[in-house]
Structure 1
């Protein structure tokens, strides 16, 4: 441990501002043997802190581990959702629904003319992106709200629980995994 501390000092690494729960680990035992600790930290050197003055770390509720995930925001956390929302991602869970494959086939088959194959490919991919985003908004519109609601409940249980919450938290974690 002393070697680790020396490495932190040598690299001028210090914990960045953290929001959320004080604890990042729990042993998930019931009753009096329940324990919480702050084991995990986000670290940065002075150069990073100077570049990202509004940077901070958020302790999120744990769903699959006994350690809470840490999310580092490099800008104002309140504006993060605006920047993040421009990105489109395919969700693996979509493939479990039959109409997803049909949506992709229909979008891919739409006329995509262009001068070269790369232009045609780009248009087809954009068609799929648009169709999947539209399909997702209609088909799975309730899921993000359900996830958010369950994460808020789980975070509350994990922050305030003293061992009596383990069963409730475990049920929420299973529901979140399924969502």
Structure 2
């Protein structure tokens, strides 16, 4: 597999289809966008990886949009488990959910049936979570789309771009905490 970093034709610079650009630069007061990254494969390589696909990832932290080579043919969706997210402690509604479950399950506490309390608490937290926007991954994707929108606009607002990238950095830190 070879990856090249060059343009083939003049049309691949400003004035073409913007979603195909994968490099952005600033010269003086002008913004320049080019398509310079490509992937090329030999027939023998394609025979080994017939389902291989190259996709263009969004602009996030660089003046390049990275290329992603995916050779995995058998992607399986994993079943997610319930996990308490320590970031939830920042939401005021969480404490009320737990207090409500403990109040309703107080008879089970006196019986020593902690298992029932935990199951009910898990169920209530899952319902509460589904109503909140607590998923950093979703927030990160929304911010990436906003950043992509700024890059795709005819005039790039660099102040907005800086703000969105700072928010994205914060969400990455929160995701790391998770």
Instruction: Give TM-score, length-normalised by structure 2.
Output: 0.49
Higher relative contact order (CA 8 A, sep 6+): 1
Bigger Cα Rg: 2
